[in-house]
A = this chain, B = another copy of it.
Amino acid sequence: MAQAETVGPVENAVGYVLKEAAVALRNAMDLELRPLQLTVSQYACLELLGQRPGMSNAELARGAFVTRQSMNVVLQGLEERGLVTRPSVAARGRELPAELTPAGRDHLRAASTAVRGVERRMCAGLSPDRQQELLDTLAACVRNLDPR
């Protein structure tokens, strides 16, 4: 729309569009998860536990890109609702391996379907090759930023 000025409009900056896409995805997910009474963070926690039961709080935090403290709040909420269980005492070290309850698995199944629908909608019109390249390119960006 507008002509490039000194350095170019923000709309053409990779970082800007990346942020825009992430926000759009989050909003769309939030909308779909609201009927299930789940926040995006809570869903992320359930999904991670569904794919790898027994993850500790710290592992879940790293997997969901939040701090241990934040993830602990999420876990407490899920525990109170009976979707997740954690042993009260650590069997080894200090880690408390979390697991889904049957109710948690049910919730996850519905949430996972909803989220997968959002992803499908987001990638509509993109060929499998193009989707794979998006995945690879984003992974390369992460690697490039990771070291420092």
**Residues from chain B with Cβ under 8 Å of A15 in the complex:** 25, 29, 115, 118-119, 122
Residues facing B in A9-68 (CB within 8 A) are: 9-10, 12-15, 17-29, 31, 47-48, 51-52, 63, 65
Total number of A residues with any Cβ neighbor in B under 8 Å? 55
Which residue of B is nearest A130, CB measured? B137
CA A112 – CA B134 in complex, angstroms? 26
- Residues on B with C-beta less than 8 A from A31 are 148
Distance in angstroms from A46 CB to nearest chain B CB is 11
Determine the distance from Cα of A25 to Cα of B15 in the docked complex, in whole angstroms.
Answer: 7
User: Is A90 in the interface zone, CB < 8 Å from B?
Assistant: no
List of 8 A-B pairs having minimum Cβ-Cβ separation, nearest first: A22-B22, A24-B145, A23-B65, A17-B138, A21-B138, A28-B145, A122-B141, A134-B137
